[in-house]
């Protein structure tokens, strides 16, 4: 097998074959509505700490219109005069959307209730002992409209029927930056120890449609950080933090990266892992191997108590258990998983393992490279992720203009755009 080049992010192979309906997501933020699910079906169980008035963390529900999660955290930190590490959240959300998610804040309820932030509604829930951590949710509910298209009922029926057993669990374009898809290239340079290159990618890469394009272009030409601090728009908060550091400590690129919130810095490394994971799915589809049914040597994870994949229980597929595991996968009670490479990763056996080795070799990296000695907080241990996911409680309708509106929910970590790109099949990834 000749290994093709890494596909451009957002342009990986489709699983379905029917023609897409085209269109555009997020014509206005309200077209993309997402809300976190913290319980499972009728269970009242919360997967993070329950109410306890003696706790120092306040649980709040925040509905935000057109807010980046990291920028929102920075604003909450400023308004409440608390450190960003005193703010817990379960997952990042797309900026151009209407989002409802939960946060834990080390702040008094009275201070929280007095907050006034534009396009933000904050509801105090209760006090608790433990903060919310990344991943502390079951999934997300979506209501999404596709604009600028005219489709018929039959068009969507054909596509959803092809995806009834699941869609490719690609990381969506938002993982890499919908307008400026560079997070994975920044992460690649961090993993390979090229911190200077990582900083320059973050500060200067992007086309003419991005915010601060002229300032980025000028910095790339002049390498003048003091001038850049005057030219970069103030809404580019994180870029300005890096530039400010480099005006004080020339050539301290690892120190510059440490100016960013830890959650954002980790996202760069995770984005690089995500690009490699997407590449594995793309290769399995290309080779006709499939992503729903397990092959001998594949790894499978069972369902957890919330109905999602249990990453702690990895089962190797053998001749003895293949049929049983295949049945479980087709029932939606188990998943074939792929590797998000990290320090503690091990290659899968069988065909999947061969693909992993080819990709790692082509990327010129090893598992040990995910140990970031100069910034230990960015070290990644690695994990597994399902190759496909099912759409849950899917409902849809077409309005008078021929634009469909979908409602469904997905397990945590699954991208709605990875399902919708199979429906739309657009060349321009910016429409997602």
Q: Give catalytic residues, as residue numbers.
A: 94
CA dist 363 → 178, 271, 376 (Å): 23, 14, 22
Which among 348, 343, 331, 349 is positioned nearest to 385, based on CA atoms? Answer: 348
∠ CA 406-410-412, rounded to 5°: 145
In DSSP notation, 71-98 reads HHHHHHHHHHT--GGGEEES----SSSE
Tokens of 430: 């910016």
Q: Is 146:21 a contact under the CB 8 Å cutoff?
A: yes
Instruction: Identify the bridge partners of residue 407 per DSSP, sorted by sequence position.
Output: 143, 395
CA pseudo-torsion sign 256, 261, 262, 265:
negative
Element (DSSP H or E) covering residue 360:
helix 350-363
CA dist 156 → 23, 32, 34, 240 (Å): 13, 19, 21, 45
Tokens of 336: 């074939």
């Amino acid at each position: 097998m000749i290994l093709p080049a890494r596909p451009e992010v957002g342009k990986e192979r489709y699983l379905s074959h029917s023609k897409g309906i085209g269109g555009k997501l997020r014509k206005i933020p309200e077209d993309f509505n997402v809300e976190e699910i913290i319980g499972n079906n009728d269970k009242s169980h919360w997967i993070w700490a329950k109410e306890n008035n003696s706790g120092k963390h306040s649980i709040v529900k925040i509905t935000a219109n057109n807010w980046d999660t990291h920028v929102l955290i920075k604003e909450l930190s400023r308004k409440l005069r608390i450190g960003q590490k005193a703010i817990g959240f379960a997952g990042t959300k797309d900026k151009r959307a209407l989002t409802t998610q939960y946060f834990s804040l080390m702040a008094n309820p009275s201070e929280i209730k007095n907050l006034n932030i534009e396009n933000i509604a904050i509801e105090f829930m209760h006090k608790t002992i433990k903060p919310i951590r990344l991943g502390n949710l079951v999934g997300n509910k979506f209501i999404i409209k596709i604009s600028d298209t005219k489709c018929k009922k039959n068009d969507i029926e054909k596509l959803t029927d092809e995806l009834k057993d699941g869609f490719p669990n690609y990381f969506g374009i938002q993982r890499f930056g919908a307008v400026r898809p560079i997070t994975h290239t920044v992460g690649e340079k961090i993993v390979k120890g090229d911190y200077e290159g990582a900083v320059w990618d973050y500060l200067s890469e992007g086309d003419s449609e991005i915010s601060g394009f002229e300032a980025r272009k000028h910095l790339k030409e002049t390498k003048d950080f003091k001038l850049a601090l005057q030219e970069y728009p103030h809404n580019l908060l994180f870029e300005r933090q890096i530039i400010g550091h480099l005006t004080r400590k020339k050539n301290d690129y690892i120190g510059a990266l440490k100016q960013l919130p830890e959650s954002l810095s980790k996202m760069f490394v995770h984005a690089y892992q995500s690009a490699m994971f997407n590449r594995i799915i793309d290769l399995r589809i290309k080779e006709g191997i499939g992503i729903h049914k397990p092959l001998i040597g594949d790894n499978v994870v069972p369902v957890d108590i919330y109905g999602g994949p249990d990453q702690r229980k990895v089962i190797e597929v053998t001749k003895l258990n293949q049929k049983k595991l295949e049945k479980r996968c087709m029932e939606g009670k188990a998943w074939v998983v792929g590797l998000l490479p990290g320090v503690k990763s091990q290659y899968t056996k069988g065909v999947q393992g061969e693909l992993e080795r080819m990709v790692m070799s082509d990327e010129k990296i090893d598992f040990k490279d995910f140990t970031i000695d100069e910034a230990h907080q960015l070290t990644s241990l690695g994990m597994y992720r399902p190759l496909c996911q099912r759409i849950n409680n899917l409902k849809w309708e077409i309005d008078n203009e021929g634009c469909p509106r979908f409602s469904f929910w997905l397990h945590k970590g699954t991208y709605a755009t990875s399902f919708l790109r199979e429906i739309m099949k657009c060349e321009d990834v910016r429409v997602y």
